[in-house]
């Protein structure tokens, strides 16, 4: 009886093909992690920041605090300046920070620095994200005329009533003589994918009930372009490039460790390092997204 021929040996893939496949798999893994971070992990980070900011602002607002919250002059970006509540939009004790760059809004809604604080004379603008970092302003379009918004600053608690909702290019609201306006700014879209793929900026205007308080002198008269609605922060590029270089080095180190130590020993060492580098890449990438996204 004739013996069966031995099975044909499978030729190993060329090194160049392995490199290409590994590179594609690595890029896919980075893209997946970025998506998970933007839509999930950044929300956890925002919640943590909000808890810390709330504790800090509550302490400053306490009558026994020797230090009062900042209400004028040049306030450092990231400083908690207000507490906003608006049940109609799902806002409950949300802390507003000073500054509106993409990085500032990772901690929560931000106050445009060249506008007065809420309750002071003039138009105050607060920007918030609609998709990433917990999306605190995703329900801002649910406001209806007359809905209340309360804002607490170092001066007192102010009540506003919504008067209008508009998109970019619409006529600006008239500022009441000697009064104050509050404008919430975010991004939105149309259709069932509107919240995931915002296409335009939306503004919700509210007028102050009662008289405004004094506006301290020394406020900034202009802000960088990166802090305007819908802009990103290109200053993050150098840091992102450094993190990407770190990812390449970590990948090369992991391959070398695999060849020397074996699979499981390499995974134990490489996974924490790679996750840390991916986290850094994701954080810097968020700065490159439009600040309202």
Residue 10 lies inside a defined structural domain of this protein: no
Whether residue 132 is contained in a domain is answered as yes
Query: 38: which 2 tokens?
Result: 């933007």
pLDDT of 6 reads: 64
Confidence (pLDDT) at 270? 79
Instruction: Evaluate whether residue 24 is within a structural domain.
Output: no
**Residue (of 106, 147, 115, 142) closest to 292 by Cα position:** 106
Give me the CATH number covering residue 93: 2.40.260.10
Please tell me what DSSP assigns to residue 79: -
pLDDT value of position 171: 84
Residue 157 lies in a domain: yes
**Structural domain includes residue 279:** no
- For residue 178, what pLDDT is reported? 83
Q: Is the distance from CB of 205 to CB of 166 less than 8 angstroms?
A: yes
Residue 257 lies in a domain: no
Q: Strand locations in the chain, DSSP E? A: 80-86, 91-98, 110-111, 122-127, 148-152, 157-167, 180-188, 200-208
Task: Give the three-state DSSP class for 290.
Answer: coil
Report pLDDT for 5: 64
Strand partners, 77: none
DSSP state of 232: -
Contact 219, 73 (CB under 8 A): yes
* Residue 63 confidence (pLDDT): 85
Block residue for tokens 């093909």 = 17
Cα gap 153→117, rounded to integer Å: 8
Q: State the sign of the Cα–Cα–Cα–Cα dihedral 291, 135, 184, 54.
A: negative
Q: So what's the pLDDT on residue 256?
A: 79
What gap in Å lies between CA 185 and CA 201, rounded to an integer? 7
The number of distinct structural domains making up the chain is: 1
> Are 213 and 120 within 8 A, CB to CB?
yes
Instruction: Say how far apart CA 165 and CA 170 lie, in whole Å.
Output: 10
In terms of residue numbers, what domain contains 122? Answer: 44-61+68-225
Written as tens digits, the pLDDT of the chain (293 aa) is: 556 666 656 666 565 665 566 668 778 888 999 999 999 999 999 999 999 999 999 999 988 888 888 999 999 999 999 999 999 999 999 999 999 999 999 999 999 999 999 999 999 999 999 999 999 999 999 999 999 999 999 999 999 999 999 988 788 888 888 899 999 999 987 554 555 567 789 999 999 999 999 889 899 999 999 999 999 999 999 999 999 999 988 888 887 777 787 777 777 777 889 899 999 999 999 999 999 99
Q: Classify residue 30: in a domain, yes or no.
A: no
Residue at 173 is within a domain = yes
Least Cα distance to 155 among 109, 121, 112 occurs for 121
Under 8 Å between Cβ of 91 and 105: no
CA dihedral sign of residues 154, 155, 161, 163:
negative
Give, as one character, the DSSP assignment of residue 135: -
pLDDT of residue 239: 96
Strands 122-127 and 180-188: parallel
Distance, in Å, from the CA atom of 113 to the CA atom of 126, rounded to the nearest integer, reads: 9
Cα gap 107→109, rounded to integer Å: 7
């Amino acid at each position: 009886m004739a013996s069966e021929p031995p099975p044909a040996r499978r030729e190993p893939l060329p090194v160049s093909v392995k490199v290409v496949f590994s590179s594609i798999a690595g890029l896919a893994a980075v893209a997946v992690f970025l998506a998970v971070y933007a839509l999930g992990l950044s929300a956890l980070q925002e919640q943590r920041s909000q808890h810390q900011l709330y504790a800090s602002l509550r302490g400053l607002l306490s009558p026994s605090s020797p230090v009062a919250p900042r209400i004028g002059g040049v306030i450092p970006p990231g400083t908690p300046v207000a507490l906003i509540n608006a049940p109609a939009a799902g806002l409950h004790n949300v802390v507003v920070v000073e500054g509106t760059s993409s990085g500032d809004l990772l901690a929560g809604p931000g106050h445009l620095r060249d506008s007065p604080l809420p309750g002071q004379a003039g138009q105050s603008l607060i920007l918030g994200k609609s998709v990433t970092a917990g999306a605190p302003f995703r329900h801002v379009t649910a406001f209806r005329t007359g809905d209340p918004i309360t804002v607490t600053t170092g001066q007192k608690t102010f009540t506003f009533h919504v008067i209008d909702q508009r998109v970019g290019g619409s006529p600006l609201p008239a500022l009441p003589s000697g009064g104050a306006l509050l404008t919430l700014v975010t991004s939105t879209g149309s259709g069932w994918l509107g919240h995931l793929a915002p296409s335009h900026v939306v503004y919700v205007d509210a007028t102050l009930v009662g008289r405004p308080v004094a506006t301290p002198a020394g406020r900034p008269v202009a802000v960088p372009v990166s802090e305007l609605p819908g802009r990103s922060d290109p200053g993050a590029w150098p840091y992102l490039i450094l993190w990407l270089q770190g990812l390449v080095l970590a990948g090369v180190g992991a391959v070398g460790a695999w060849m020397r130590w074996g699979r499981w020993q390499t995974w134990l060492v490489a996974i924490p390092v790679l996750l840390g580098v991916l986290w850094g890449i994701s954080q810097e990438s968020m700065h490159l997204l439009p600040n309202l996204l």
